[in-house]
A and B are shown apart, each in its own frame.
Chain A
């Protein structure tokens, strides 16, 4: 099976712009999670989607949003970009719902490196 794919791999934007990142999970996986990774804050959870529904959300401002389509592909959007949004954005998929008690190994994509100038 093909792994998790993320597009684009690299992106340069300026402050105030918006950006949309895409994630295609492993075929058959229905849960997608997004993470932001920065040197200062480490890996921080953004949100998780399962069957087109947002299941969990991290502590990020409303400028960060996401959605999941019926084919499980997911997008995240960041509006009004700030310099601090520069980060590696990672997407991860799991086969099933990651509720309590679930086997929740995550399969990560290579990430999208976003630079905000």
Chain B
């Protein structure tokens, strides 16, 4: 079974809105990564946050990490239809179940 859990499992929003996805993990990590997967394709690395960082930004992405709660969140601002995909958090080789994001034009 997966050691990470994303919340929510599915999210549907309108273009221009912000999307927030949460991830919880069970084991200690050195860093945590977020990946994106378009339907049936390989994963694309989005952002990595180290265990000693609390927040990181990359373009329209903002990631936070709370190691005391073993949780992370990914915020996508001003979403676009092209952001429609599944998003996964990962600690090295362990991936969460993913959040499926649908952005309606």
Question: Given A100-B30, A101-B30 in contact, is the A48-B93 Cβ separation under 8 Å?
Answer: yes
Is A104 touching B92 in the complex (CB atoms < 8 A)?
Answer: yes
Chain B: residues with Cβ within 8 Å of the partner, total of 22
Tell yes or no: A29 within 8 A of B by CB. no
Question: Given A100-B30, A113-B40 in contact, is the A107-B45 Cβ separation under 8 Å?
Answer: yes
Question: Given B48, B88, B97, which contacts A105 in the complex, CB threshold below 8 Å?
Answer: B48
Is B92 touching A110 in the complex (CB atoms < 8 A)?
Answer: no
The size class of the interface chain A forms with chain B is 20 to 34
Is A106 touching B45 in the complex (CB atoms < 8 A)?
Answer: yes
Question: Given A4-B42, A104-B31, A110-B41 in contact, is the A42-B48 Cβ separation under 8 Å?
Answer: no
Give the nearest-CB partner of B42 in chain A: A108
Q: How far is the CB of A22 from chain B (nearest CB, A)?
A: 15
A residues neighboring B (CB under 8 Å)? 4, 33, 35, 41-45, 48, 56, 58, 88, 90, 92, 98, 100-111, 113
19 A-B pairs with C-beta separation under 8 A: A41-B1, A41-B2, A42-B95, A42-B98, A43-B88, A58-B93, A90-B43, A102-B30, A103-B31, A103-B48, A104-B31, A104-B92, A105-B48, A106-B33, A106-B43, A108-B35, A108-B42, A108-B44, A109-B42
